[in-house]
Structure 1
Amino acid sequence: MKEEEWNYLIKTQKDMEGVVASILMERGYKAKPRPYGFKGIVLACAEERDLRDIPEIEKAIKIDFLVRSELEEILSLGYEISKRIKDGETFAVRTKRRGKHDFTSIELNTRLGSLIREISGAEVNLENPDKTVLVEIIGETSVISIQEGHIGYKKNKGKMVRDLLSRTTVIQVPYLGPLDASKTMGVRIGRSAQAFEIKNLIISPWREVRAEELCTFIEGLLEGIRSRYEIQKRTYGREPHRVSVTLRDLYQLIREIWSMN
């Protein structure tokens, strides 16, 4: 694996890494899902703006340094890392280790933290640091990212979230106007709805609309759902749910919902 190829470490829910990699490659970027066999991560060379609209991405970590997973090689970056910490700032080192190595996460945190402190004179603050030196060890490759403030890890809710989304219905007022804009918004909304695999998407106009604009929006919506669904079928280890799309007048729909309560 060539270290210079990657500028982002992307974290996804388990089994979503293939979807993210497929989307990025369709956009012309390099992406490697499950590096060294580790699930839930993707190494990518991409622009930040093209990561923002991919809902399967839970966290995108900008890579500052990428080296082999050897203790001395990581420690050799101590001077370069120290230059990123300003006078008067505090810092903490956090390590996430995947795979087997001849050192522990605690050992790396301690030795790298001591080295940075010795070089920069900065103080360690584990509770509320100004900078966090994040070390993500992925088999034979290690990613180092220097980030502002404290970094916390989100707990993966897994199947519980999918079960909730599979019972969720979303009501969407159609985006109307110039036909190219209506189509583009329809595609984006359709992709997002299918990415979360919600139960149903109800398109609800609330006033008289031009048929051509509504038709174009719905065409884009169905195109977005179809394109994301095809990616899911190729990459998921299970059969994905295809989002159902229906059309209802918004006021009639609200009256019906109220009558049920």
Structure 2
Amino acid sequence: MAEKPPVVWPIYKLFAQFERYVAAYLLIHNYYAWREGQGPSPTLAALQKVTPSSARQTAGFVAALKAGRFLESAVKPAGGREKPLKPAAVMVEEIGRSGRLFVSALDEIETWRPAWALALMDIDRLGVLLQRSAAFVLGDGTLIHPFQRVLHFAGRDCGYPLLTAIIGAHYAATIKAYPQAVPLTLRALAARFQVSRAHIGNLLDEARQANWFIIEAGNLVHLDNDLVLEFENWACWQMVHYGEIAATLE
């Protein structure tokens, strides 16, 4: 989740914040539900009915998606007043990246072969995974709210990718043969997540004040054990959630 962005556009800043991520997630849900004959036309009005953001914020977010070419042209249905909002492949890939990586982790734990995550390289299959995940969330509530510190970071611009970088640095220091950690200097983190060094500094200061973790001279010198446990429990919930859905995909 902390890998370098796939495109030049500030994709992390656009999607790596809870309300914007949810709006994109539900846009994908609406499109694939409609495509499968399970929902109404995925218009802006339909999206505004289900997003936690205000109608004005949602419209502004959709305008940003269009400007960044994260939406594709779609044919207006006969009798329809608005064109459907069709997510571009790069948007489905980015919003589905977390789910696909959790399925990939489950593949390794369960030694499933062929790996289920490989099937999710197909954009439409990944889109259906997200649609079914979002249908669960719309009916039963989010999976993230029980994990308040994970939610705290997710609510800040690029906070969740930063948290995954911190957890990754912890694992790199404590688990033999673990991949090299993301550099934790202000400059490196700001460049990777496409935000200012001041913003990264503010996030790190908040974490220090709460005694969640401390970075000094680009090194992780403290990480609260309860935060590690919370993140690992969150990850387990995500693996189970997406794994169960992946098992239903054709």
The question of a shared fold, defined as TM-score above 0.5 by the shorter chain, is answered with no
**Structure having the higher Rg:** 1
Q: What is the TM-score of this pair, normalised by structure 2?
A: 0.23
**Structure with the higher fraction of residues in strand conformation:** 1
TM superposition score normalised by structure 1: 0.22
Choose between structure 1 and 2 for higher RCO, CA contacts under 8 A separated by at least 6 residues: 2
Going by fraction, where is helix more abundant, 1 or 2? 2
